[in-house]
Amino acid sequence: MDKPKTSPKGFTNEDARRALVDGLNQDLANEYQAVIMYQTYAAMVKGPFRQELAAFFRAEIPDELGHAAYLADKIVAFGGTPTTRPSDVPMVQDPHGMLEEILKAERLAIQGYTERLQQAEKAGEIGPRVQLENQITDETNHLEEVQKMLAGWYEPAPGENRLPAGSARR
C-alpha cells in the first residue's frame, strides 16, 4: 500500500496507523453486520415474545448505525477507505438462538474497541479514545440486556417441542 502523501495529524508511526485503520475497518464490517442482524431478526422472530424482542432489536439499530458512521469518518480521516462489506450474519430461526448470536456479536464489538483503544494509543493518536470508550459502554449495555434476557430462559426438555412449526432450531 502507498504511503499517504501527508501523514494524518497525530500519527507518529506508519505501521501503527495502518494497523489501526485495518482494525477500524473490521469494526465497521461488524457494525454493518449488527445493523443487518437486528433488522433481520426483528422481522423473523416468532413466538410468545415476538413483540418485545422485535421492538428491542429495532431499538438497537440507531446505536449501531451511529457507531458505523463514526468509524467510517475516522477511517477516512486516518488515511483509509471505509469497507462497504458487512461481516456475515448468522441465520437462526428461534429467539434463543438469535439472542445467543447477538451476545457473541456484542462481545466481539467490545473486544474490538478495546484493542482499538490500545492501537490508537500506540499510533500516538488520542483523538478517538473517548468515543471508543463510549462505544464500549453502548455495546456493554446491549450485552448486559441480552444476558438478562437469556438468564433462566426456558429450554424445552428433550423430545418436547413447544416452538411453533417452522421455528425449530436448525
* Residues making contact with Fe ion (CB under 5 A): 31, 64, 67, 106, 139, 142
CB of 12 to Fe ion, least distance (A): 28
Phi, psi of 17 (to 5 degrees): -60, -45
Closer by beta carbon to Fe ion, 92 or else 132: 132
As measured in angstroms, the least distance from the Cβ of 27 to Fe ion is: 8
Radius of gyration for the chain, computed over Cα atoms and rounded to the nearest angstrom: 19
In the complex with Fe ion, the residue whose CB is nearer, 60 or 94, is 60
C-alpha cell at 127: 483523538
Residue 79's region, left for phi above 0, alpha for psi from -120 to 50, else beta, is left
The residue among 65 and 163 lying less far from Fe ion, judged by its C-beta, is: 65
- Identify which of residues 92 and 110 has a Cβ nearer to Fe ion in the complex: 110
> Least Å distance between CB 98 and Fe ion?
14
CB of 136 to Fe ion, least distance (A): 10
Q: Work out the end-to-end distance of the chain between its first and last CA atoms, rounded to an integer number of angstroms.
A: 43
Q: How many Cα atoms within 13 Å fall on the side-chain side of residue 93?
A: 8
Q: Can you give the length of the chain in residues?
A: 170
